[in-house]
Amino acid sequence: MTLFQSLRPLKRWIIRRTRRPRPGSVDFGDLRRWDPISRDWGFDRGTPVDRFYIESFLGAWDKFITGHVLEIADNAYTRRFGGDRVIRSDVLHPFSGNPRATLVADLGTGDGIVSDRFDCIICTQTLQFIFPVQKAVESLHQLLKPGGVLLATVPGISQISREDMELTGDFWRFTTESITRLITPVFGQADAVEAYGNVYAATAFLHGVAAEELDSTALNYRDSQFQVVIAAVARKSV
């Protein structure tokens, strides 16, 4: 037996004794439960973790929120991050009846989609609800003016939306790789595709713990193995 072989049991013993926490000694505390802490994503406690990341992303790329801007469902982010750079704000919704909607159109089928209209589109947490998702990306491209910019976010690690599942469906979760492959055939190479999150953030988000209840330094740490939110910046060629 070589010296190296003789030391293997000692090495395994050291690893077992120094690993923190040791196997079998994990304290789950408030997380040892069948039901999540919040079934409302954390809205009832503060800012949901995914919204913390979405707002960080839009704040970092807000220079593109300018001119004629389209947002999905409402224009809260347009107003918040675009300010006086926005000349006109429109809201897209797939069904009539939304009083905030100025454009009724279906990204998944292309019905009602206009061409070359917008300088910027803010599309947050929407593509997961559209089964023909590649067609949706094509519709977003069609809506943009040449040179226009898409700011999009999608879920990676997330609970489902029960309301949307019952209404139209909740179909997809994404990775940086899948978003890149969706965008590239339509827009060409994206300006940016980035992931936000880590195991701490993912665990908290699945339980509905709000961002205000968490360590912001730990939230901002990025571990590409645990992609809670994926964000993309894509520009329509001139």
Q: The domain that contains 64 carries what CATH number?
A: 3.40.50.150
Residue 29 forms part of a structural domain:
no
The predicted-structure confidence for 68-81, as pLDDT tens digits, reads as follows: 999 999 999 999 99
Q: How many CB atoms lie within 10 A of CB 172?
A: 15
Say what percent of the chain tops pLDDT 90. Answer: 81
**What is the value of pTM for the model shown?**
0.90
Q: Is the pLDDT at 4 greater than 70, yes or no?
A: no
Residue 177 forms part of a structural domain:
yes
Number of domains comprising the chain: 1
Residue 144 forms part of a structural domain:
yes
Residue 47 forms part of a structural domain:
no
Residue 209 forms part of a structural domain:
no
> What is residue 218's predicted lDDT score, i.e. its pLDDT?
95
Residue 73 forms part of a structural domain:
yes
Residue 80 forms part of a structural domain:
yes
Residue 19 forms part of a structural domain:
no
The predicted-structure confidence for 117-171, as pLDDT tens digits, reads as follows: 999 999 999 999 999 999 999 999 999 999 999 999 999 999 999 999 998 999 9
Q: Could you list the residue range(s) of the whole structural domain that residue 59 is in?
A: 55-195+227-235
